[in-house]
Amino acid sequence: MISQPVPPTLEPGPAWEVARLFPDQGDWDDTDYLVLNQMTNRFVELTDGWLEVLEMPTKSHQKMAQHLFKLLDQYSKAGDVGEVVLAPYPVRMRSGKYREPDIVFALSEHSERLGEDFADGADLVMEVISQDRERDLVRKRRDYAEAGIPEYWIVDPRDRRVFVLRLQQGAYHVHGEFGDKVRATSVLLAGFEVDVGELFAEGGI
């Protein structure tokens, strides 16, 4: 009888040997981050050497994000005005900072921004607020403005509102706050509208 090899005795807990293949927190660079991003199905963002592992989205979150993607994709293809990508897909804000918007859009004249592994900026991004409200309402608002992204949509399921922000002189200003019985409109994309009540119904909200 051929004896089977006996595996080494292992201690329970994290696979530290694998973790040590990557940099310590504070030491991550763009290349390290993009390699990790290709290896995981988790939402991970990078800020100046530090990784942020985000909470996994809920079903209602994903249903609303998918609805927005479908509407924007149909609009984009009908007028050949640009291209839209659904998360997970990182967007480079600058060297050392990457975010993962729920929806990323680039106009046709900026199509080179949408690379195979990440986007180098965008013309419009959308976020469906999750449990960490401060991330989307404050930090990402600041980051997207600093990256020069002209339009930012924030979908707030808790308050049943859609905010459309327009970049002016380096800061976002509210183009519109849209409730259940109205249609949210874009500044950047003429004629693009979203029925807010229908959007929340898609998410079961």
- For 147-190, what is each residue's pLDDT tens digit? 999 999 999 999 999 999 999 999 999 999 999 999 999 999 99
Domain ranges of the chain: 59-202
Q: In this structure, are residues 174 and 164 in contact, taking their beta carbons and an 8 Å threshold?
A: yes
CA gap 77, 73 in Å, rounded: 6
Span 194-199, mean pLDDT?
98
Other Cβ atoms closer than 10 A to 26: 9
Provide the pLDDT for residue 68. 98
State how beta strands 103-107 and 82-86 pair: antiparallel
Provide the pLDDT for residue 87. 94
Q: Which of the pair, 16 or 5, is modelled with greater confidence? A: 16
Provide the pLDDT for residue 22. 86
Provide the pLDDT for residue 21. 80
* pLDDT tens readout for residues 8-34: 666 677 767 777 888 999 999 999 999
Supply the pTM of this predicted model: 0.90
Q: Residue with structure tokens 């149909």?
A: 74
Mean pLDDT computed over every residue of the chain:
93
* pLDDT tens readout for residues 62-77: 999 999 999 999 999 9
Span 195-205, mean pLDDT?
95
* pLDDT tens readout for residues 103-147: 999 999 999 999 999 999 999 999 999 888 999 999 999 999 999
Q: Is the pLDDT of residue 1 over 70?
A: no
Q: Is the pLDDT of residue 81 over 80?
A: yes
Confidence of residue 40 (pLDDT cuts 50, 70, 90): confident
Span 81-85, mean pLDDT?
98
Distances (CA, A) of 84 to 74, 140, 181: 10, 19, 26
The residues, ordered by sequence, that sit 6+ positions from 183 with a Cβ below 8 Å of its Cβ are 193, 194, 195, 196
Confidence of residue 2 (pLDDT cuts 50, 70, 90): low
Q: In CATH, which of 2.30.110.10, 3.40.50.150, 3.40.50.620, 3.90.1570.10 is domain 59-202?
A: 3.90.1570.10
Confidence of residue 4 (pLDDT cuts 50, 70, 90): low
Report the number of secondary-structure helices (H) and strands (E) in the chain.
6, 12
